[in-house]
Structure 1
Amino acid sequence: MLNKTNALIYFLAFSSGFCIMGIELLGGRILAPFFGSSVHIWGSIITVFMLSLSIGYLLGGKLSTRHPSLSKYGLIFLVASIMVFPIALFAEQIMHFIFLHVEDSRYGSLLAATALFFIPTIILGMISPYSVRLLVTDREKSGQVAGRLYFVSTLGSALGTIITSFYMVLAFDVNAIIITFAATLGVLGVAAITFNRLTIKERTPCLGS
């Protein structure tokens, strides 16, 4: 049976998967006005996201070996939130500059996708390995825990893809959705940090008791 801390971690991993795929899906809509929507545009977006996530997995795994805590886990979400916001604020200016200076739309779209999504996706990629580290308390069950975590995260990604593409893009502006994802990540980060502090207070005996 899951305790509250583990349940929160699974929920956060699910939510991060939702946000990652939602942002990736919106990447095509963001780049389309300047570079079109052909297959090489999606090739650029997918390449940037896969490379960024792989780097994030390495960094998250390394960070998780240094006194892992739910507070540090929450900070990853806060940093991700801060990095996602500029996509909505500066995407048009960045793409306009690249569009004027790079004639080939293949390399222009690759450069634009890198400028917009590389850093935020690296931070988001750090979440999964850090989640595994927080959840694993028994080496013999590490494989089972990792499998369950990646199942939950991938399920979040699938729902993020379908909900974003079927419903959100029809009801909201792309920038509004990006800001919503960024705000959601920030709220999740604050929730993790707050939960950790409350848990510590509950475990710490009151003075004089």
Structure 2
Amino acid sequence: MQIVLPYLIAGWSGFFVMAVELLGGRLMAPTFGSSIYVWGAIITVFMLALSIGYLAGGRYSMQQPSVRRLGALLIVAAVTVLPILLFGERMLDAVSIAVPDPRFGSLLAAAVLFFVPTVFSGMISPYAVRLLVQDQRSSGRHAGQLYFVSTFGSAAGTLLTSFYFVLILEVNQILVSLLAVSGAIGAAALIFGKRGSERDEVSR
């Protein structure tokens, strides 16, 4: 499980990020429409947040990395989506009043809603790489495998959300489902990660 969980978490994180990004267009459409400005704003915010998350995750991984901490990162990323569920509509209305320009208003709105969850999601892949790499000779192979899993998860999240989920579920229902899966995987990492660390201590 100590090897499987980092791959599972990285793959699900990729799925989660792309699902939320696609749902972002649906969430912002009633207030800002669905023009190229809106999608440009959403993509910009997600890419910038991911880049910061990659940097932060790489640095955080240098401080006693563990599967439990990786699971905690996944849970935090999910929890930071809760304000979108609870206050998303009011937040969008407030931004549209404060910044009526559709370009900068949509950019600010996307940042307010999605920047923090995406930063935490971005921290997961580099952190998982740190857990998997045991020596320099295998570092490239593990990094390649993990980013394959993460990107494959992103593709699956994009396809399933856009082709199926939005046709059978409301946006809030999809978000709640995503949060539930993240919580379950994160809890599994906390439980099995603790068992793994206990076994390591006993073997010493």
After TM superposition, the score normalised by the length of structure 2 is: 0.96
Say whether residues 1:13 and 2:15 are aligned partners: no
RMSD of Structure 2 on Structure 1 (CA): 1.3
Separation of aligned partners in 2, 1:204 and 1:43: 49
- The aligned counterpart of 1:66 is 63
Contact kept in structure 2, 1:87 and 1:178, CA below 8 Å? no
Q: Which residues of 2 match residues 71-150 of structure 1 at below 5 A?
A: 71-150=68-147
Deviations 1:27-70 (A, max 9, x none): 10010001010111100000000000000001000000011111
Number of aligned residue pairs: give it.
Answer: 203
Deviations 1:142-170 (A, max 9, x none): 11111110000000000000000111001
Q: More deviation in 110-119 or 193-202?
A: 193-202
Q: More deviation in 59-68 or 98-107?
A: 98-107
Separation of aligned partners in 2, 1:58 and 1:202: 31
Separation of aligned partners in 2, 1:5 and 1:20: 23
Aligned-residue offset at 1:195: 0.5
**2:193 maps to which of 191, 196, 202:** 196
Separation of aligned partners in 1, 2:199 and 2:183: 24
After TM superposition, the score normalised by the length of structure 1 is: 0.93
In structure 2, the gaps of 5 or more residues are none
Aligned-residue offset at 1:200: 3.3
Separation of aligned partners in 1, 2:50 and 2:81: 14
Aligned-residue offset at 1:202: 4.1
Aligned identity (percent) is 51
Deviations 1:91-112 (A, max 9, x none): 1000011112211111110010
Max Rg structure: 1
- The aligned counterpart of 2:22 is 25
Secondary structure of the 1:5 match is: coil
Contact kept in structure 1, 2:9 and 2:74, CA below 8 Å? no
Aligned-residue offset at 1:188: 1.4
Q: Which runs of 4+ in 1 moved over 3 A?
A: 200-205
Amino acid in structure 2 at the alignment position of 1:116: L
In structure 1, the gaps of 5 or more residues are none
